[in-house]
Amino acid sequence: MSLRMFICFISLLTAQAAWGEGALKDVEIDHSPAALRRGAATVTSVCLPCHSLKYLHYRDLLKLGFSPEEVTGLSMGNKPEAALLALMPPDIGEQTYGRVPPDLSLMAKAREGGPHYTYSLLTGFYQDKTGETNNHLYPSIRMPDILGWSSADAAQRAVLETQANEATAFLVWAADPRAAERKRLGYYTIAYLVLLTGLLYLIKRKVWARLG
């Protein structure tokens, strides 16, 4: 078997691994800077009352293009160096919901399906026959329908979809704030390696040509 055939075979296998996650809504997440800032505003006002994002600090929000004044507004009296902790103390959260609401710093990559999970959860609430709120993705979830999805009409849902999308985009950023830097460095690295490997190939050809 040639190396080329082998590489084709391996890429087929890895393509196969991308299957699955049927129950999740497969939406395109809008990662534009404006969407990220709106998502940050949504998360700090809607999620942060109960959930923490303890690996983020308010000053990190400056990297999203917020002005220092806007960050001060979002931080609700906290210092810029402060971590994004839940407004509700953990023991109150535990009393209210039976467990401390999970930290959201890594939520966008801590579930199978990644951002699609977050989005599908936020837009997965419905009212069952008894009028109780439940969730398609996470049955008998203790989290309330915070966006009001289950009681919204079609026009309202269009707005909420955007809101859930932007909040998800922010959580993706929060889970890996270095992603943009990483990809930028990646392009340079790969370009350099392609050039280097091309030169190494020429050297190899030249050296082996001596053998005749």
Partner 1 sequence: MAQRLIAWIDQRFPLTSFIKRELTDYLTPRNLSYWWNFGFLAGFLLMLQIISGVFLAMHYKPDVNLAFDSVQHIMREVNYGWLIRYLHSTGASAFFVVVYIHMARTLYYGSYRAPRELMWWSGQVLLILLMASAFMGYLLPWGQMSYWGAQVITSLFGATPLIGDEIVLWLRGDFVVGDATLNRFFALHYLVPFFIVGMVIIHLVALHHVKSSNPSGINLADKDNIPFHPYFTAKDLFGLGVFLIIFCGFVFFAPEFFIEAANNIPANPLQTPPHIVPEWYFLPFYTILRAIPDTLGGVVAMGLSILIFAAMPFLDRSRIPGGARFRPFYRAMFYIFMVDVAVLAYVGSQPPGGLTFKIGVAATVIYFAAFLTLPFLSRWEERWLRARGLPPALQALLDSETEPKPRREAR
* Site for partner 1, residues 43 to 62, rule: CB under 8 A: 55
Q: Is 8 in the site for partner 1 (CB under 8 A)?
A: no
Residue 104's alpha-carbon distances to 34, 97, 108, 209, in angstroms, are 21, 16, 8, 59
Q: Is 176 in the site for partner 1 (CB under 8 A)?
A: yes
Instruction: State which of residues 106, 141, 143, 160 lies at the interface with partner 1 (CB under 8 A).
Output: 106
Q: Is 12 in the site for partner 1 (CB under 8 A)?
A: no
Q: What is the CA radius of gyration of the chain?
A: 23
In whole angstroms, what is the distance from residue 197 CA to residue 194 CA?
A: 5
Instruction: State which of residues 63, 79, 142, 178 lies at the interface with partner 1 (CB under 8 A).
Output: 178
How many CB atoms are closer than 10 A to CB 150?
17
Instruction: State which of residues 45, 95, 96, 189 lies at the interface with partner 1 (CB under 8 A).
Output: 189
- Return phi, psi of residue 96, to 5°: -75, -45
Burial of 204 (0-12, 13-18, 19+ CB in 10 A): exposed
Q: Is 105 in the site for partner 1 (CB under 8 A)?
A: yes
Nearest approach, Cβ of 23 to partner 1 (angstroms)? 14
Give me the residues that bind partner 1 (CB under 8 A), please.
Answer: 3, 13, 55, 102, 105-106, 109-114, 175-178, 182-183, 185-186, 189-190, 193-194, 196-197, 200-201, 203-204, 207-208, 211
